[in-house]
Copies of this chain bind each other. A is one copy, B any other.
Amino acid sequence: MLMMQVLADAYHCEPSIEDSDALMAAAVAGAAAVGATVVGESTVRYVPHGLTVAVFLAESHLVLTTWPEHRLLLIDVLLCNPEMDPDVVIDEIVRRLCPAGEVVRQRIPRRIADWPSGADV
């Protein structure tokens, strides 16, 4: 199975990226938008600023990392259900936290198989 991990760097975000509740709510809403199931959550706050939020899904996970001093939000989405589009997750998070932002997306293929030469590739 070939999964596509999407890493998005969202610039010009709202000040709410420094609000841990807003950040977690956006992450959970992103998961809901694609129909993923949340099975765990973690939040870490940095000093003097910055947050990392991880949302663990039945379909793998997503991680949000913020640099509020740069109005920057990094979004990592890995979904092991190929029918779920990671961009749907990112679109929902960006809509909530960076509606006027610029987003750079990178798509990284990851092979879930015994070895890439195997029949499951």
List chain A positions with a Cβ less than 8 A from chain B. 5, 7, 9, 11-12, 39-40, 42, 44, 46, 52, 54, 56, 58, 60-61, 63, 65, 67, 70-72, 74, 76, 78, 102, 104, 106, 108, 110-116, 120
Number of this chain's copies in the assembly equals 2
**Residues of B contacting A54 in the complex (Cβ-Cβ under 8 angstroms):** 42, 54, 56, 61, 63
Q: Is the CB of A7 within 8 A of B108?
A: yes
For A71, give the chain B residue with the smallest CB separation.
B114
A61-B65, A108-B108 known; A70 vs B114 contact (CB < 8 Å):
yes
A56-B52, A61-B52 known; A112 vs B40 contact (CB < 8 Å):
no
